Amino acid sequence: MSVFDEDRIDCHCHAFDPGRFPYRDDTAYRPAQQEVGTSAQLIRVMDAYGVRHALLVGPTSGYRTDNRCLLDALQTYPERFRGIAVVDNHIRRDELAVLREAGVIGVAFNPAMEGVDLVLSAGELFAALADLEMIAQVQVAGDQMAVLGPWLARQPATLLVDHCGRPQTAAGLGQAGFQALLRLADTGRATVKLSGWQKYSQAPHPYEDTWPYVHELLRTFGPRHCVWGSDWPFLRAPERLDYGPLLALFEQMVPDADVRRQIQWETPRRLFGFASSADTANTANTAHGESVAS
């Protein structure tokens, strides 16, 4: 069985629909042309590649705390998607609970774009996320985790770290930020996304300078605390990206089919609360019909 025949959940993708949900005026980046991808378009990609479910991440670019596009996707395809929203640090607990009821299972923090202080000032929000059994998703770059790691380890919320922590590939496995990320495995509450290789690689496809980091994360966290994501529709990609080659690359990185199934199916299904395998087959067929009608 190849990677294309396996059940999977895409744990990092976005929806951009500026025609229906215009971008914020103050956004730092406005995705355009091939970077725009609606939820209906994403469903078609998922159906073509056998992706049963996906975790839609509210983007800092375009929308930030405007979650209308995300919530529309969750309402339209409730069995296919779960969501990660971007919110203000001072959001009330009852407002978080409303998002939870709508299919939002966590909140995204992006110090890679917005700096570490935004996270360090979010202690009350992390506590509320833990109380509601929601996830705190964090995207760092370089050595930011060296500062954030000890603080995150003290927070009660379940942690989800984007894109392998985006290490500096030339600095080696011993770099402070990457070592701080590895130490989060000791909490038992942290999961890492084996994704976004193009975001931190200094080489073209197949991004071989990222492979040691992927393998070390998998060794340290184990497949029960690793997930996979495509990063569709590939904002700010340094070169052409397509869904199929990314899946084939993941098969090269993780050649054991049982390990891939844990990473791409069992772990995210448990972590994000998706349906059982038997139920999902019917869901995928139903949602495919919805995507054609959209």
pLDDT in tens, 99-113: 999 999 999 999 999
Average pLDDT over residues 79-90: 98
Q: Domains in the chain: how many in total? A: 1
pLDDT at 279 over 50: no
Phi, psi of 127 (to 5 degrees): -65, -40
The mean pLDDT value of the chain amounts to: 93
Label residue 275 by pLDDT band (50, 70, 90): confident
* pLDDT over threshold 90, residue 55: yes
pLDDT at 3 over 50: yes
| For residue 290, pLDDT beyond 70 | no
pLDDT band at 276 (very low <50, low <70, confident <90, very high): low
Give residue 286's pLDDT band: very low, low, confident or very high (50, 70, 90): very low
Q: Which domain holds residue 272?
A: 3-293
User: What CATH number should be reported for the domain holding residue 264?
Assistant: 3.20.20.140
Instruction: Give yes or no for residue 163 having a pLDDT over 60.
Output: yes
More confident residue, 294 or 27: 27
Q: What is the pLDDT of residue 281?
A: 44
In percent, the amount of the chain with pLDDT more than 90 equals 92
What does the pLDDT read at residue 132? 98
